[in-house]
Each structure stands twice: as structure tokens, then as C-alpha cells.
């Protein structure tokens, strides 16, 4: 049975969709069968990021509502054999799917796929509850901003209350120059508060925006620093021990780092 992982954050716009697209692409590159689920109902955009928007016929609410079979709604990626997307509905409201339906859906998907990755909506409301309902594990994305870290902490508390223990942390959009100058929270500051295992650090990189606008994932770009960071995260998810790159650390030595594989 495959593993169901939810990518969540609390605060909006910190990089959940970007992370989901990159992890999915990266795992598919390694030959795994991956289903990406856009649980951001009402505001779908994982399909746009993956460049698959024009192929959507059915969406997640058609599946849970019994209007089509799961297989019909899954969209195959253009580039990678093993990568599929279950798109969100754009029109219907967030209560269109229930946690129980989501659980059943994840269970079905995990029969067929090695990894099921769920792109969670921002916030702590119904959409969040739905997105985490069928997950085995959680990845929390934050940026090095006080408000994002605060929301990540809130989310970790809610995940713990929902029995999703030991979430792993991705710190996105880190600007090492700003950290070095003391103008941005450091990795250690963030880990010190959140006290969870670090899965990886992704630098601020304009290549993310450039590739996203082309409907590609930055992980496909061999030279970009953010692509490299996502590749390392993917390897850690598969259970490999990959040390933090100096690039990820920004040259700062860590006293408190608890870097772990995903398993």
C-alpha cells in the first residue's frame, strides 16, 4: 500500500502547491507511481502549475459524488509516465467533499500508487480537515517569517490533535544573505520554536516562478538551487539519508538541527 502525504501550512502562499508539484514530479522521475490530489476546492491551481489545466474533464467532487470513476478523473502528466493528478473543483464550495469521502478516496488511491500527495488549502477550516482526513503523514511548509512560523505551529498542534504525529518541516523561500545579516529568521530559530524534524530548506529562487509560469516544476531544472533542494527532499522522503547541503544551510553552523529521513 502506498503512502498518503498531506502538504499543509496554515498561512497561505508559502509554497504548498509548488512543493506538491515538485515532490510529485521528483518522485515520478525516480520511477514511483504518484497521484497528486488538489484538495484546494474552489481555488484549484495545481493543474495550472503542472500545465494540465486544459485536460480536465472530471474533478474530485465528481468522484466523491459518484458521477464518474476515479480512473476517469485522474489526469496523466505530459512528461512522466507514473504521475497523475486528481484536480479540484473550481466552482463548487469547500463543503462539497466530506472527511469520510476523502478518507475513502485516499484509501483507493493508495492501493494503486506508491505515493499520494495532497495539496492542502490554506487555513484551518473544513478544507484543511478534509485534506488531512486520509493522510498517513504530513509535511508542513513555512517561510522564515514570524507569522508563517506561528501558523505552522498552530497547524502542527492541530495535526497532533488529529493523530498525525511527527510532521516534517520544509522551510521555503530562504534568503541566506538576509539570514546572515540577521534580517531573516534562521533555520535554527524556526526549529527551536517548532521542534519538529527538518525535511529540507528551499532557497528563494526566481527559477521557481519562471518554471511555474511554463507549467513545469523547478525540480526538472538541473542547475537551479531550488531544484537541487527539492531533489534532496524527494530522496529524504524515499528514506535516504541526505545531509543538508551547505547551500541549504547557508553556511551557518547548526547546534540544534534534527535532520531526518522521512521514514
Partner 1 sequence: MDNRRKTAGKQILDEIEGDENTILIRRTLRSGQKFHYSGNVVVMGDVNPGAEVVATGNIIVMGQIRGMVHAGAEGDESAMVMAFRLQPTQLRIANHITRPPDDEVADSSVPEMARIKNGVVTIESYPAKA
- Residues at the site binding ligand ATP, with contacts judged by CB under 6 A: 9, 12-18, 40, 122, 172-173, 202, 204-205, 208-209, 212, 226
**Minimum Å distance from CB 211 to ligand ATP?**
9
Contact 42, 88 (CB under 8 A): yes
- Which CB, 186 or 226, lies closer to ligand ATP? 226
- The yes or no reply on residue 151 touching partner 1 (CB under 8 A) is yes
Neighbours of 161 (CB within 10 A): 8
Largest CA distance in the chain: 55
Residue 44 DSSP class: -
71 binds, among partner 1, ligand ATP, Mg ion, none (CB under 5 to 8 A by kind): none
Number of helices (H) and strands (E), helices first, in the chain? 12, 8
Q: How far is the CB of 38 from partner 1 (least distance, A)?
A: 26
Long-range pairs, 158-166, Cβ under 8 A, ≥24: 158/124, 158/128, 159/8, 159/132, 162/132, 164/6, 164/132, 164/135, 164/137, 164/138, 166/137, 166/196, 166/197
- Find out whether 242 and 236 touch, Cβ atoms under 8 Å: yes
Region 1-30 residues binding Mg ion, contact defined as CB under 5 A: 16-17
Is 258 a residue that touches partner 1 (CB under 8 A)? no
Rounded Cα–Cα distance for residues 259 and 20 (Å): 20
| Residue 26 neighbours by CB under 8 Å, 6+ apart | 217, 219, 230, 231, 233, 234
In the region spanning residues 48 to 87, those forming contacts with partner 1, defined by CB under 8 A, are none
Interface with partner 1, residue 47, by CB under 8 A: no
| Closest CB to ligand ATP among residues 171, 237 | 171
For residues 239 and 246, which CB has a smaller minimum distance to ligand ATP in the complex? 246
Q: In terms of CB distance, is 108 or 145 closer to ligand ATP? A: 145
Shortest Å, Cβ 190 to partner 1:
12
Q: What does the alpha-carbon distance between residue 230 and residue 201 come to, in Å, rounded to a whole number?
A: 8
Please list every residue from 168 through 197 that binds partner 1, using CB under 8 A. 193, 195
For partner 1, which residue of 157, 206, 209, 258 counts as binding (CB under 8 A)?
A: 157
Q: How far is the CB of 104 from partner 1 (least distance, A)?
A: 29
Exposure string for 185-195, b = 16+ CB within 10 A, e = fewer: bbbbebbeebe
Q: Which residues bind partner 1 (CB under 8 A)?
A: 150-151, 153-154, 156-158, 160, 193, 195
Q: Which residues bind Mg ion (CB under 5 A)?
A: 16-17
Amino acid at each position: 500500500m502506498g503512502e498518503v502525504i498531506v502538504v499543509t501550512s496554515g498561512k497561505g502562499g508559502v509554497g504548498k502547491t509548488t512543493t506538491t508539484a515538485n515532490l510529485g514530479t521528483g518522485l515520478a522521475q525516480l520511477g514511483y507511481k504518484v497521484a497528486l490530489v488538489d484538495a484546494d476546492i474552489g481555488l484549484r491551481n495545481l493543474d495550472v502549475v503542472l500545465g494540465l489545466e486544459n485536460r480536465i474533464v472530471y474533478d474530485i467532487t465528481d468522484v466523491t459524488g459518484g458521477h464518474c470513476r476515479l480512473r476517469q478523473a485522474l489526469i496523466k502528466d505530459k512528461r512522466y509516465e507514473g504521475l497523475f493528478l486528481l484536480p479540484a473543483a473550481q466552482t463548487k464550495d469547500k463543503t462539497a467533499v466530506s472527511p469520510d469521502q476523502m478518507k475513502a478516496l485516499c484509501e483507493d488511491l493508495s492501493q494503486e500508487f506508491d505515493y499520494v500527495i495532497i495539496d492542502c488549502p490554506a487555513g484551518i477550516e473544513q478544507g484543511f480537515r478534509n485534506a488531512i482526513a486520509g493522510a498517513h503523514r504530513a509535511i508542513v511548509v513555512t517561510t522564515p517569517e514570524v507569522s508563517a512560523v506561528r501558523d505552522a505551529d498552530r497547524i502542527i498542534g492541530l495535526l497532533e490533535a488529529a493523530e498525525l504525529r511527527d510532521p516534517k518541516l520544509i522551510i521555503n523561500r530562504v534568503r541566506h544573505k538576509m539570514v546572515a545579516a540577521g534580517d531573516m529568521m534562521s533555520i535554527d530559530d524556526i526549529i527551536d520554536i517548532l521542534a519538529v524534524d527538518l525535511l529540507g530548506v528551499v532557497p528563494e529562487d526566481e527559477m521557481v516562478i519562471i518554471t511555474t509560469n511554463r507549467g513545469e516544476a523547478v525540480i526538472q531544472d538541473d542547475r537551479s538551487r531550488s531544484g537541487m533542494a527539492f531533489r534532496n527532499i524527494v530522496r529524504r522522503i524515499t528514506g535516504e539519508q541526505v545531509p543538508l547541503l551547505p547551500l541549504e544551510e547557508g553556511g551557518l553552523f547548526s547546534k540544534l538541527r534534527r535532520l531526518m529521513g522521512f521514514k
